[in-house]
Structure 1
Amino acid sequence: MEIYREFASVYDLMQYDIDYPLWINQLDSIAKKHMTNPRSILELACGTGTISVGLSQKGYLCEALDISEDMLTIAQSKAYDCGAKIKFYHQDMANFSTKKKYDMVCCMCDGMNYQHDIDTLSKVMQQINLHLNEEGVVVFDLSSKYKLKEIIGNNTFAETFESEAYIWENEYDETLNLLNFSLTIFKDEGNGYERYEEFHTQRAYEIEDVLTVINPFFEVLDIVDGDSFKQKHEQSQRICFILKKKTEVQITEAK
């Protein structure tokens, strides 16, 4: 999608405050805690591939997908530089299909917030279920409603780096629970700075709403603070869901 083209080039710079080593170690621990000899992992909305590369370096057979070709280009380069053998798919997580099954499916750092309605979120859960081995584990996070409404909503952020800068303007729609934001990116192209603009929308979900789409497919193992992986609280800015596939669920693949 065009909205991710220039975002891809500054994505890692904007994520500097995320503790990726902690996330990677926690995903590894969750997989080993709830499965015997977990081997394969699929990451949805993988972005620039930091998590998939980290899990691959821990010995997992990793595959990953993203809707943005530009994100995947960076992810492939990152995997190559690290010697990580990862297969990447250019697919939308709302209707993805790799025709394989995995021990774990994960989606970190707001991928689910880009699913703007309950029906689409339910389709994602159905596709995850189809791609999960028996008793497989699912881990995904959401930026919380508290974060999107109170921290980000109706605020503007700006930051400069060595050869890039951005202005991030946000507007929160309380009726629809949607965060609409414009991202203006300035990049040094060698003969001066070029200006690019993208528009994004994220949905804020209540935990209870997410549970309604989880329940047909998965057992909830835990719901934790998605930044620390400790107990969630009212001001948690990220909520992480840890789930296990229900063995009795029989779902046919969506057309």
Structure 2
Amino acid sequence: MTSYKEFAHIYDALMTDIPYDKYVEKVISNVENVKGKSLLDIGCGTGVLSAKFAEQGFLVQAVDLSEEMLAIAADRFQKQGISIPLFHVSMTDLDGFEEIDVAVLSIDSLNYLEEEAQVLQTLHGIHESLAAGGQLFFDVHSVYKMDVLFLDGPFTYEDEDVAYIWHTEPGEYPHSVYHDLTFFMKNKIGSYDRFEESHFQRSYDVKEYLSFLQQAGFSEIKVTADWANESPEENSERIFFHAIK
């Protein structure tokens, strides 16, 4: 399972196209009386969504596998005056969380699991952590994005402080991709430090995710795509799932 390291320090700068407020709206539009309800942010990253959910009145706990991401999240919460417990935990090992009202697994975090068994283990763990009637929200890359868009590389990015070259190649599993990133970060003396990281992601088609959720015990499953309340289409890029325990 991939864990962000140096890439954690430029993650926010490269994720400015993610409409986090729309993600929050997706959740609060389906949860009544959010104030005081518990929310577990799984794969919380740098804590952007955790902070936004806390601002809405949720009692947030957050977990991530990357210590670098958690350190950035902790700094964010301190600066914003927000108290959110952080846990260095894999999404496949959620023992100890109980009676959670809402679980969120956002921004394709689930795609970082290599094995189907890990996806099932994660969904089972979330189901066990939720209270009766608890709700799960997560999103994944579509198979179209994995098989077509991601392989239309290489991709590049450059601004005053950071630049990267992003190569992709198919993985050994269906709908899987290796992301090989070389990036350059401006340092305090004005020169650039070079770093390299390799990430792996794998996705499944909608029917497979529905089967995984049902096997984990979830019901009342809704599926939408691309930040809209519309059904997925062949060229949809991001698939959203909402399921109830």
* 1-structure distance, mates of 2:34, 2:70: 31
Q: Aligned residue for 1:80?
A: 78
The AA in structure 2 aligned to 1:225 is: A
Q: SS where residue 31 of structure 1 aligns?
A: coil
Q: Aligned residue for 1:252?
A: none
Q: Aligned residue for 2:5?
A: 5
1:161: Cα distance to partner? 2.1
* 2-structure distance, mates of 1:38, 1:213: 30
Does residue 45 in structure 1 map to residue 43 in structure 2? yes
Does residue 208 in structure 1 map to residue 207 in structure 2? yes
| Structure 1 range deviating more: 193-202 or 225-234 | 225-234
Query: Is the alpha carbon distance of 1:2 and 1:99 closer, same or farther for their aligned partners in structure 2, counting shifts above 3 Å?
Result: closer
Structure 1 outlier segments of 4+, above 6 Å:
35-38
Gaps of 5+ in 1: 246-255
Counterpart selection for 1:89 from 87, 90, 98: 87
Counterpart selection for 2:168 from 161, 167, 170: 170
Paired residues for 1:56-205 under 5 Å: 56-173=54-171, 176-191=174-189, 192-205=191-204
Paired residues for 1:229-248 under 5 Å: 229-245=229-245
* 1-structure distance, mates of 2:160, 2:34: 46
The AA in structure 2 aligned to 1:113 is: N
Instruction: Provide TM-score, normalisation by structure 1.
Output: 0.89
Gaps of 5+ in 2: none
The AA in structure 2 aligned to 1:17 is: D
* 1-structure distance, mates of 2:36, 2:211: 28
Q: Aligned residue for 1:249?
A: none
Instruction: Provide TM-score, normalisation by structure 2.
Output: 0.93
Q: SS where residue 31 of structure 2 aligns?
A: helix
* 2-structure distance, mates of 1:231, 1:200: 29
Cα offsets for 1:41-82 (capped at 9, x unmatched)? 001111111111000001110011000011111111111222
CA contact (8 A) 1:154 1:172 kept: no
Q: CA RMSD in A?
A: 1.9
Paired residues for 1:213-228 under 5 Å: 213-216=212-215, 217-228=217-228
